[in-house]
Structure 1
């Protein structure tokens, strides 16, 4: 019966690990969003300072071009992380379902064991 207890502990560990991964992805997405927002502010300030908002203009600020590229890369990475997050959510759901099954099996074994002990006590006593 120890194997069932170990199975439950293993499944609980897996669920906790999936939750941790999900939280980590959420933090990374939020950090990328914050960085992209900061870059957006820097781009706006640079365009305002130069007085040029047309990206294709020959005198468009180089810093603003580079910041735009970084911001776009951050948005792409954020999109990729969102996909990873949805995959992690489904893995978490699966792990929670497996944990639930393992807990039910362990509970059933405990009830069976308790019933067997009760029958033995009646037979002995």
Structure 2
């Protein structure tokens, strides 16, 4: 029984670790997308300052700035999409943690039950020794 519960606990811990890694990876991706979008914002501002045209509808507006805006918008859309995946991954992590706690609690109860049974057997043995001694006297 012990090896089964220990194996189950190891499996649940592995599952929790895997879910944590997924959450961290998604968080890093969102941060990277936002950082790249911010850098593109800076490049767009620099380009607009350099050309002196900030109106996107202007016929001479920089094609580099237009392309950078499109890329920035795509990055922000990807970051938003990843946030929904992050929520899902966080929910899965919470479930995995809950499962681990349940298994650990069951294992602890089993250990407590075994310890109580062992204590009961020892007490019965001590009682028997005491009875035998009292008969001798």
1:40 alignment counterpart: 41
* Structure 1 spans left out of the alignment, 5+ residues: none
Relative contact order (alpha carbons < 8 A, sep ≥ 6): 1 or 2 greater?
1
How many equivalent pairs are there? 125
Q: 1:101, CA displacement in angstroms?
A: 0.3
Structure 1: distance between partners of 2:124 and 2:99: 37
* Structure 2 spans left out of the alignment, 5+ residues: 127-137
Structure 1: distance between partners of 2:6 and 2:117: 19
How large is the Cα RMSD of the aligned pairs? 1.3
TM-score (norm: length of structure 1): 0.93
Q: Deviations over 1:32-54 (max 9, x none)?
A: 11111110000011111111111
Structural mapping, 1:73-92, within 5 Å? 73-92=74-93
Q: Deviations over 1:70-106 (max 9, x none)?
A: 0000000000111111111111111111111000000
Structure 1: distance between partners of 2:35 and 2:94: 29
Structure 1: distance between partners of 2:37 and 2:20: 26
Q: Deviations over 1:11-58 (max 9, x none)?
A: 111111111111111111111111111100000111111111111211
1:2 alignment counterpart: 3
